[in-house]
């Protein structure tokens, strides 16, 4: 019994000691956390204060706002003055957490972004809002959801720049009372539901196939047009060549006819001169006889039907008959020429 009481007291003492150690540790952690937070937010009043560049320290005197410390050397009163807020005047980038938003065509998007802002009035940034970063973040999220609800899914990707500008304008209207200016907002990532993404991928593939088909049809059309133009030009050139050929042939035939006519005229003139001389009739008779023999030799060459005179062997009779016709024609031509001369006289 006594041993049990001693054991229970020992256990209780150990429990109390462990609890005390846990309380000390937790208090030490709390003190350490408070100390670290205090060091990172507001510096201690050491009378002589050195403010870094691009920072503004808000000083309170006996709990009331006193002044802003400028970069460089500053002197404070001990125990009365206290650095209450430290504001950075540099441009800051705040990560906007991922959020869900519904577009005008009822598509749920998961979107996040980055907000760039700058403190313009340290007094308003310190006393105008409790937590400026939290307030700006919540305002950016609500504005993003509101702006995405006004446009469709296709417009989100096309009007990304205008969406960023609209969000910046709305944030600046609300943050003007806080002494904070929103410089720009950038959408970092947009995630779509898997089914919507697959549908968009199919739409993109269909659009590409459509463009390929259109380009192929345009290529076929251009090829057909080029072939038709080539055939047209070939026909035009062929007709022009045929035209020139016919003109050349006509000119050649005309020149040949003129040459034959001139040659015939010269031969007739020479023949007339020869007939007017002595023994001209004998020469004409000889020529007619030769022509008769030559024509008689060509009979039955072009056709099987041949018409022969009754006196084929009488060559002298044929020549005499031809010369009689020639003399009759000559006599008629002479009388016609004399008559025309009389009429002129």
DSSP-derived secondary structure for 112-132 = EEEEEEEES-HHHHHHS-S-H
Residue 91 has pLDDT above 80, yes or no: yes
145 vs 282, higher pLDDT: 145
Give the mean model confidence (pLDDT) for residues 21-46: 49
Residue 264 has pLDDT above 70, yes or no: yes
Residue 225 has pLDDT above 70, yes or no: yes
Of 1, 10, 82, nearest to 49 (Cα)?
82
Phi, psi of 130 (to 5 degrees): -70, -50
Looking at the chain, the whole-number percentage of residues with pLDDT higher than 70 is 66
Lowest mean pLDDT, pick from 5-14, 162-171, 248-257, 278-287: 5-14
pLDDT of residue 116: 92
Q: What span, in angstroms and rounded, lies between the C-alpha atoms of 8 and 5?
A: 5
Helix (H, G, I), strand (E, B) or coil at 69: strand
Q: Do 108 and 100 contact (CB within 8 A), yes or no?
A: yes
pLDDT of residue 1: 37
Tokens at residue 288, please? 């007619």
pLDDT of residue 11: 35
pLDDT of residue 296: 62
Q: What span, in angstroms and rounded, lies between the C-alpha atoms of 172 and 2?
A: 77
Of 143, 139, 156, nearest to 104 (Cα)?
156
Give the mean model confidence (pLDDT) for residues 318-336: 62
Task: Give the total residue count for the chain.
Answer: 345
Q: What span, in angstroms and rounded, lies between the C-alpha atoms of 144 and 187?
A: 10
Banded model confidence at residue 159, pLDDT cuts 50, 70, 90? confident
pLDDT of residue 287: 66
Give the mean model confidence (pLDDT) for residues 148-163: 83
Of 192, 191, 109, 180, nearest to 144 (Cα)?
109
Q: Do 275 and 281 contact (CB within 8 A), yes or no?
A: yes
Residue 226 has pLDDT above 70, yes or no: yes
Q: What span, in angstroms and rounded, lies between the C-alpha atoms of 75 and 278?
A: 160
Taking the CA atoms of 40, 41, 45 and 49 in sequence, report the sign of the dihedral they define: positive
- Would you list the DSSP string of 152-184? -HHHHHHTHHHHHHHHHHHHHHHHGGGTEEEEE
pLDDT of residue 40: 42
Banded model confidence at residue 340, pLDDT cuts 50, 70, 90? low
Q: What span, in angstroms and rounded, lies between the C-alpha atoms of 230 and 222?
A: 12
**pLDDT tens profile 164-216:** 888 898 888 888 888 898 898 888 888 888 887 787 788 878 888 888 888 88
Give the mean model confidence (pLDDT) for residues 27-32: 40
Mean pLDDT in the chain?
A: 76
pLDDT of residue 319: 61
Give the mean model confidence (pLDDT) for residues 22-45: 47
Q: Do 275 and 326 contact (CB within 8 A), yes or no?
A: no
Banded model confidence at residue 13, pLDDT cuts 50, 70, 90? very low
Phi, psi of 150 (to 5 degrees): -95, -15
68 vs 329, higher pLDDT: 68
pLDDT of residue 311: 60
Banded model confidence at residue 3, pLDDT cuts 50, 70, 90? very low
Q: What span, in angstroms and rounded, lies between the C-alpha atoms of 23 and 168?
A: 48
Banded model confidence at residue 2, pLDDT cuts 50, 70, 90? very low
Residue 12 has pLDDT above 50, yes or no: no
Question: From the centroid of its chain, how far is CA 249?
Answer: 56
How many CA within 13 A on the CB side of residue 191? 9
Q: What span, in angstroms and rounded, lies between the C-alpha atoms of 190 and 177?
A: 31
């Amino acid at each position: 019994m006594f041993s049990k009481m001693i054991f229970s007291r020992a256990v209780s003492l150990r429990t109390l000691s462990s609890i005390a150690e846990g309380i000390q540790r937790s208090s030490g952690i709390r003190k350490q956390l408070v100390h670290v937070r205090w060091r990172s937010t507001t510096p201690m009043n050491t009378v002589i204060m050195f403010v870094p560049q691009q920072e503004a320290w808000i000083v309170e005197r006996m709990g009331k706002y006193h002044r802003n410390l400028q970069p460089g050397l500053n002197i404070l009163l001990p125990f009365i003055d206290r650095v209450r807020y430290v504001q950075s005047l540099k441009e800051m980038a705040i990560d906007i957490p991922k959020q869900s938003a519904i577009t005008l065509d009822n598509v749920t998007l998961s979107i996040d972004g980055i907000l760039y802002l700058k403190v313009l009035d340290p007094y308003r940034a310190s006393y105008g809002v409790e937590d400026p970063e939290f307030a700006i973040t919540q305002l950016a999220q609500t504005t993003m959801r509101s702006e995405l609800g006004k446009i469709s899914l296709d417009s989100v990707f096309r009007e990304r720049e205008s969406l960023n500008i609209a969000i910046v304008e709305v944030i600046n209207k609300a943050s003007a009372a806080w002494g904070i200016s929103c410089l720009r907002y950038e959408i970092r990532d947009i995630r779509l539901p898997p089914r919507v993404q697959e549908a968009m991928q199919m739409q993109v593939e269909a659009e590409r196939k459509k463009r390929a088909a259109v380009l192929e049809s345009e290529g076929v059309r251009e090829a057909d047009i080029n072939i038709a133009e080539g055939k047209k030009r070939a026909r035009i050139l062929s007709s022009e060549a045929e035209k020139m050929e016919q003109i050349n042939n006509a000119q050649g035939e005309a020149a040949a006819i003129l040459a034959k006519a001139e040659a015939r005229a010269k031969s007739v003139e020479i023949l007339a001169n020869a007939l007017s001389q002595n023994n001209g009739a004998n020469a004409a008779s000889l020529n007619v006889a030769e022509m008769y023999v030559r024509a008689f030799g060509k009979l039955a060459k072009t056709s099987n039907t041949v018409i022969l005179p009754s006196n084929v062997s009488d060559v002298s009779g044929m020549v005499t008959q031809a010369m009689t016709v020639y003399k009759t024609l000559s006599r008629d031509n002479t009388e016609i020429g004399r008559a025309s001369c009389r009429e002129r006289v």
